[in-house]
Chains A and B, each alone.
Chain A
Amino acid sequence: MKVRFMFSHLKKMLSQRSPSAYRFGVALASLLVIPAALSFNSLEISQPVLKAAAEAVSVQKVWANEAAAAAAPAAEAKKDEKKGTEVWAPLAPPKLEAKDYPVVKGFNSRITVWFIAQLHLFFGAFVLAVPIFVWLIELTGVITKDERYDHMAHEFMKVAMTGFSLAASFGGLLSIALVVFYPQFMLYMTGIFGKVMIFYALAFFAESFFLYTYYYGWDKMSDGKAKTIHLSLGLGLNLAGVFLMMVSNSWASFMMAPSGLDDAGVFKGDVWAAINGHLWNPVNIHRFVANIAYGGSLTAAYAGYKFLTAKTAQEKAHYDWMGYTSFFIAIIGLLPLPFAGYWLTKEIYDYSQQMGITLMGGAFAWLFILQAVLIGTIFLSANYYLWCCLARSPGAKRYTFMIKPIAIVIVTAFLAWFTPHTLVMTSKEVTQIGGAHHPLLGKFGVMAAKNTAVNFLIVLTFLSFQIYQRSNKRAVGDDFWATNGTSVQIGLYVAGLANILSLGIYSYYLPASVRIGLSVPQVTTTLIVIVTSFILDGKIFKKSEEMGETQWGNMPVRSQYALFTLTIGFTWLMGLMGYVRSAIRQHWHVYTVFRDNSPDAFTPTLPYAASVVTVIVCVFIALVLFMFWMPMLAAKKGSSGEH
């Protein structure tokens, strides 16, 4: 129904032959060419290269794996039996040697691929996240009939437009780089996922179609039924985006936890089994949630910059509001993120205890101290921004006394969280402590304390948020909730925190295998506190009055720097976690199945990875400036034309 409606609308629009519609049509057609070409880049161009690589390889007898050779005649026979049905020959992972990895002068294979993949991921994450919340904001605008939401959604989209082509360009570059530097590996991956890769490439057309109709049709389809069509276009854009993300995730998760292979590692043709691996869904969820938080923080940084350079009070107020909304989105993504991370880690343990221990107790144990510092920075800057937001509300004076206690608890929880299990000490300190085990700090090293601390962090961050939400309101109703609701909320928070704490202390004394199970009631407590308290807010302020006008734009400069800290923290952390996700495969292309025998198969050290990540983020920031500069350039031209 909707699709037919949409097409008839488009037809009508184009047949009007009005200049604007004509311009729109041309723009649509010409712009469709770019992503199409880019999608071609990403696969169509690489296919001949792949083929050439395949021929080269067959000469090197990499294919002459015994299992494959033995099974090939059988597959041949099968082909004769059922003509027309597709037949995938069993594919065994090749055994490579150092000479199977091309050396291109001036490039280090691994760092090149690392760079491009990370940049692709940064832009990909951004452009997948933005349409999700743009769509939600647009929907909010339709429901609340508040024009401001619609404008803001449009502006977000404008900011992200250049990001789409950058993401696609890096995607194309990545596949070419992989084929150039790791031809055998790509040959193996296409051997398994070739079928899916075609659909992946095709989905780019859907993505491009929805993207350009959604963005360029924004003003045309602004009300009534047309708005419904516009929203469906946005939904289509998001579905295509999520599809693309899940497909590419399946390759990454296959490399970590291969599935659909038999005991000897031979692929028998069931592509779905290969996609639906043990880590696929945990990675999907984790990336989806993180993308939203990350996309929100990037747009918040954009708004922060615009706020700092705004010339008029009106402009300042607008970008303050935009910054706050972006920040709000980032927090919505941030709060469930630790849980998604815990789930992923748990599944990694379930998939392979060895991989899990390598991750948490082996060479990477110290990386999680660094991760804790980064997450602490993110949480602290998020809370700081929220506290600064109180300056907007004339009624906030009533709550400022709570900020210091909150800060103390957050810092304490955070210190407990990042206390390492193995302490670094001088021999003098060992003598004083009386051994390598610290009687008090040692207790903070285990999961029981860390889970408790992270739940505290989340609950208190939500408390900061709730304080800001109510800072300018006063309940005027006289029913039960309006008069006693706040006391109930206080009781809820106290009981919830006490429960989390006692569960944490109790679980400390349990054996490790039982202890993990107790993190579930802790998380449940956190969720109950957050959800119930949020619902109660609605009941308490059913009838309420503002205590003066919210002063949008009345924000100190340092609050915007909190937003920048948040964004940089997020981006850098994403880069770091990209390193560790890839590095826990150790010397395997596909874990346990396809060994990496390139000279770069060793696992890089943490400071080395941190330096590489920093350089990548610097390049990314430069490109982001370009991305943000594009719409401003367009706006400038537009304004000069009007004069």
Chain B
Amino acid sequence: MHFLKPIIGVLVAYLLIKIGVPFLGSLSHPGTWPVVPTAVMKMYLFFIIAGAFVASTFSEEGYNGLIGPIVDLYGNPAKAKLRLGAVAAVSLLGTWVAYQYVKPSFDAPVELRSVHPAPPSSANMWGKSFELQTLKNPFREDKANFAKNVEEGGIVYYKNCFYCHGDKQDGKGHFYSAFNPIPANFVDVGTIAMLTESFVFWRVGTGGPGLPSEGAPWATAMPVWHTMLSEEEVWKAVMFIYEQSGVQPRVTATVAEKK
């Protein structure tokens, strides 16, 4: 059973990458299961198999041990049935691989894209131009009516946003599983906590179609809200999601310097 050794070796390596890597990755990013992307996995496997082959065939015994059973299987008249089985297995494997390639899939095509696109300097909404660099939430300054404004933002949120972004702001609203990529999770520190309010205002206002041409095509179902909500409603909703998810909007150096 000499020929089983390299095969077991390859299997162990495969499992290490298939399960070990996501496991280690999930320790540093709890809640995710960071699999090795298929494209990388294929290359890994190719070189692991090549390495296993090379490491077990450098000596004559090793070579015969690995190749011998195969030669025996295809050449030995006594093993006709087994041979038939092997040929069938190989053909079926080939069929399966071919099928995997050609079967219709609903996955979006493989893409390279940045998570937070660079915002444009200005955006056109409600028929006017907003300078995103200097734009500030007009309701932030109004300390007296803060609670009232947030509450009004909450009404806007529950009327429009909550179906996807969820009750807990975690991106798991009623429809979330229908979207790919899933709706943004506001509680995660990687989303709105990293962004300024003006950036969020722009993303809400112009939605998916407003994303920059670099990195296109974009896969997002975010609607263009400025055609459906008023400027004030969007600002209040933005304030609400920050307030409700318990994170602070990012303050850029420019804004800080001006204070």
Contacts and interface: CB of A to CB of B under 8 A. Distances in A.
Q: Touch between A and B in complex, CB under 8 Å?
A: yes
Contacts of B180: 427-428, 431
Given A384-B54, A426-B38, A431-B180, A440 B24 contact: yes
A414 interface: yes
A313 B165 CA distance: 78
A553 to B, nearest CB: 14
B21 A440 contact: yes
A402 to B, nearest CB: 11
Contacts of A384: 54, 58
Contacts of A67: none
B224 to A, nearest CB: 21
Given A408-B51, A428-B180, A440-B21, A419 B40 contact: yes
B37 A403 contact: no
Contacts of B31: 434
A423 B32 contact: no
B54 A407 contact: yes
A565 B47 CA distance: 15
A391 B62 CA distance: 12
Interface in B13-55: 21, 24-25, 28-29, 31-40, 43-44, 47-48, 50-52, 54-55
A403 B55 contact: yes
Given A427-B107, A558-B63, A403 B25 contact: no
B44 A429 contact: no
Nearest to A386: B58
B181 A431 contact: yes
A430 B107 CA distance: 12
Given A391-B60, A400-B59, A441-B36, A427 B51 contact: no
A427 B40 contact: no
Contacts of A4: none
Given A411-B47, A436-B115, A387 B37 contact: no
A436 B114 contact: yes
A425 interface: yes
Contacts of B141: none
Contacts, number: 117
A441 B51 contact: no
A627 to B, nearest CB: 30
B34 A439 contact: yes
Interface size class of A (residues with CB under 8 A): 35 or more
Contact of A438 (B25, B54, B58, B113): B25
Interface in A353-404: 373, 376, 380, 383-384, 387-388, 390-391, 400, 403-404
A161 to B, nearest CB: 35
Q: Which of A387, A430, A431, A436 has the most CB of B within 10 A?
A: A430
Contacts of B38: 425-426, 429
A439 B111 contact: no
A435 interface: yes
B55 A558 contact: no
B181 A424 contact: no
B59 A426 contact: no
Contacts of B47: 376, 380, 411, 414-415
B110 interface: yes
Most chain A CB inside 10 Å of its own CB: which residue of B28, B33, B51: B51
A407 B55 contact: yes
Given A427-B181, A436-B113, A440-B25, A387 B58 contact: yes
Interface in A120-135: none
A383 B55 CA distance: 9
Interface in B49-84: 50-52, 54-60, 63
Interface of A: 373, 376, 380, 383-384, 387-388, 390-391, 400, 403-404, 407-408, 410-411, 414-415, 418-420, 422-441, 556, 558
Given A433-B25, A436-B114, A440-B24, 18 more contacts: A380-B51, A387-B55, A387-B59, A403-B55, A420-B40, A422-B112, A424-B112, A425-B110, A426-B107, A426-B109, A430-B181, A432-B32, A432-B33, A433-B33, A433-B37, A438-B36, A439-B29, A441-B21
User: Would you list the 6 A-B pairs with minimal beta carbon distance, nearest first?
Assistant: A407-B55, A387-B58, A434-B32, A411-B51, A425-B37, A439-B25
Interface of B: 21, 24-25, 28-29, 31-40, 43-44, 47-48, 50-52, 54-60, 63, 107-115, 180-182, 190, 219
